[in-house]
Each structure stands twice: as C-alpha cells, then as structure tokens.
Amino acid sequence: MSNEMSSREIQFRHANSGDLSAIEDLLRNNDLPTEGIKEALAHCLVAETQGQIIGAIALEPKGRNGLMRSLVVAGDHQGHKLGTALSSKIVNAARLLGIERLYLLTTSAEAFFAPTGYRVVEKNRIPEAIRDTEEFEKLCPHNAVCMMRDIRKEPIHATNDLLQMQPTVPGARLWAVSLKHTMLTCFEVEPNSRFETHSHESEQITMVISGVLFFQVGQVIHRVGPGEVMAIPASVQHAVWTESEAARAVDAWSPIMAKYDSGQQQG
Ligand SMILES: CC(C)(COP(=O)(O)OP(=O)(O)OC[C@H]1O[C@@H](n2cnc3c(N)ncnc32)[C@H](O)[C@@H]1OP(=O)(O)O)[C@@H](O)C(=O)NCCC(=O)NCCS
C-alpha cells in the first residue's frame, strides 16, 4: 500500500450485513450491478475511512475457482491506488481459501486488470461453476470481457484484516494459513479448556505467545509459557490444556492438518 493511502487512514475489513446498503449505493453510483451482492457478503472486503465505506470487492468461491466481482472505489477516492489495494487483498483472500484461478468480467476496466496478471479468456473456456454464477448468467452485458488470473504460485500476504479467527474446535478459535506441505495456525484457547490425549500424523511445533499451555506427554507435564516452544513428533500421544488464563499460541504443522484448513491448499 502506498504512503499516500496509509496517511489517509483507510481501514480494510470484512463486510458485514450493516454495510450492505452502503456497498449497494457505491455499486449503483458506478453503474455496477447490485444483484447477488447480498449473497456474496461473506467474502466481501470493504475499505473504510472515518466511518464511510469508500471501496469494496467481493469473491464468489467455487471450489478451486473463484469469481472476483463488484470491485468499486468511490468517485472522489479513485486514482489513489485503492482499487489496486482491494484487488491485491482479494487475491490473498482467495489464496487463503485454496482458490487457484480467479475469474472476472469487465466492460470498462480490462486495462486496469491486465498489468496484474489477468488474461482475457474465451467464455467457452470458463469452468461451469463460474459460468453458472448470477453475475455470468444475468448481470453482465454480452460485450463484457472475461479475464482469468492463475494465482497458484503467488505468495500469500495475510494481513490482519484477512486473518479471521474461526470457532473451528470447541474451546478455541483459530486461523490457519497453509501451502502444500506446511501449515501455520494461531490458536486462542479459552481458560479451562482441554484437548484430551490424542496424536496426529503431522509434526507440531507450538510457540506460546501469551498465557500458559500445559502439555502432557506420558507422565510428564510441561508448563509452556510466553516465548517458549513445544515440539511434538508425529504420532506421539499428548494432551493440552489451559488453566484459569486464556492462551494464545502459534503452531507449525507438517504435513498440514486438513481439519484446520479452510481452503485445503494445494499450491
Ligand atoms: C476501476 C476502479 C476500481 C479502479 O480503482 P482506482 O483506485 O481508481 O484505481 P488505482 O488508483 O488503483 O489505479 C491503478 C492504475 O490503473 C489505472 N486505471 C484505473 N481505472 C482504470 C480503468 N477503468 N481502466 C484502465 N485503467 C484504469 C489507473 O490510471 C492507474 O494507472 P497507473 O498505475 O499507471 O497510475 C475504479 O476506478 C472504479 O471503481 N471504477 C468504477 C467501477 C468499475 O469500473 N469497477 C470495475 C468493475 S470490473
């Protein structure tokens, strides 16, 4: 992001239902369709300054493919790289979901997308799941250009706004970022939570950031405090718990733990 943008204190975040009418207004003001945006809100990012939504972009995940849609920047904020920043964030959001190819339709912005790796594709070479989306079937005029970007080999820059804690396991919330062979998770474990004795094929290396995690391996209990690391070899039985204090920890896993992976990354 450019210094110009950060000095204007623009925040990026996931959209919520309270943002819908502001996003629809932005789309209408820029002659973009609003149909289907409500359904796409779960994967919609907004840019906000001083409580006002000034930009948006949405993603419709379809397995390994994704439709990027509804990129819009408010008229008086255009030309300051906000569209570029939103486009970049949606690529990272798509990578976090394990998406390999991003598709979009545009009538007026082909030259905006081309420098970032989008290529024009024939409509008959577009995967069925993308062609079946409302945007493809109804929203876009027949003269729209379809573009595709292969994002499999792109790095993932997961900014704070993209790392959403999920209640994936009882007693804890977590986010996960993974490539093909390696995964990093961040756990927030509630006070007095316990993961009963278990083992897994993945090696686990855990670093406690705050609070204390207790690991029991055999008869030995390890009290692992902030800044300390516990490394558990594959298939070794262990139990983990917190006492009266919540704990936050990051964990490296290899191979990846599929049950923590929202996207089940392949690339
Ligand atoms: C298209 C849009 C999102 C771009 O956002 P923005 O914040 O103004 O764009 P940026 O400042 O990041 O522009 C980056 C570059 O793309 C160029 N650019 C911007 N809009 C463009 C367009 N429609 N076509 C071609 N190039 C464009 C800019 O001139 C700039 O070029 P530079 O790097 O040489 O200076 C914004 O203009 C918009 O909301 N337009 C109306 C809605 C729309 O067309 N959305 C796209 C739907 S597919």
Cβ–ligand 1 distance for 26 under 6 Å, the answer no
User: Which pLDDT score, from 0 to 100, does residue 5 have?
Assistant: 60
Distance CA 249, CA 227 (A): 9
User: Which pLDDT score, from 0 to 100, does residue 257 have?
Assistant: 95
Question: Residue 158: pLDDT above 70?
Answer: yes
CA of 106 to the centre of ligand 1 (A): 12
Please report which confidence band the pLDDT of residue 104 belongs to, taking 50, 70 and 90 as the band edges.
very high
Query: What is the sign of the dihedral through the CA atoms of 115, 162, 24 and 70?
Result: positive
Cβ–ligand 1 distance for 144 under 6 Å, the answer no
Using the atom order of ligand 1, give the atom closest to the CA of residue 104.
48
Question: Residue 247: pLDDT above 90?
Answer: yes
Q: pLDDT, tens digit, for every residue of 24-71?
A: 999 999 999 898 999 999 999 999 999 999 999 999 999 999 999 999
Cβ–ligand 1 distance for 106 under 6 Å, the answer yes
Nearest CA to ligand 1 atom 34: 112
Cβ–ligand 1 distance for 83 under 6 Å, the answer yes
Cβ–ligand 1 distance for 88 under 6 Å, the answer no
Question: Residue 3: pLDDT above 50?
Answer: no
User: Which pLDDT score, from 0 to 100, does residue 138 have?
Assistant: 67
Please report which confidence band the pLDDT of residue 106 belongs to, taking 50, 70 and 90 as the band edges.
very high
**Helices (H), ranges, the chain:** 3-7, 20-29, 82-96, 110-113, 128-131, 134
CA of 263 to the centre of ligand 1 (A): 29
CA of 5 to the centre of ligand 1 (A): 15
Distance CA 142, CA 46 (A): 28
Mean per-residue pLDDT, 106-131: 94
Question: Residue 142: pLDDT above 50?
Answer: yes
**Local structure of residue 181 (DSSP, 8 states):** S
Mean per-residue pLDDT, 210-224: 98
pLDDT-above-90 percentage for the chain:
85
Query: What is the sign of the dihedral through the CA atoms of 198, 202, 205 and 208?
Result: negative
Using the atom order of ligand 1, give the atom closest to the CA of residue 55.
39
Domains of the chain: 3-150 (3.40.630.30), 166-260 (2.60.120.10)
User: Which pLDDT score, from 0 to 100, does residue 161 have?
Assistant: 93
Tokens of 97: 């979901």
User: Which pLDDT score, from 0 to 100, does residue 261 have?
Assistant: 83
What's the mean pLDDT when you consider all of the chain? 93
Cβ–ligand 1 distance for 111 under 6 Å, the answer yes
Of 99, 92, 6, 86, the C-alpha closest to 45 is 86
Cβ–ligand 1 distance for 108 under 6 Å, the answer yes
Nearest CA to ligand 1 atom 29: 79
User: Which pLDDT score, from 0 to 100, does residue 8 have?
Assistant: 63
Contact between 245 and 191 (Cβ < 8 Å): yes
Specify the 3-state DSSP secondary structure of 81. Answer: coil
Contact between 76 and 115 (Cβ < 8 Å): no
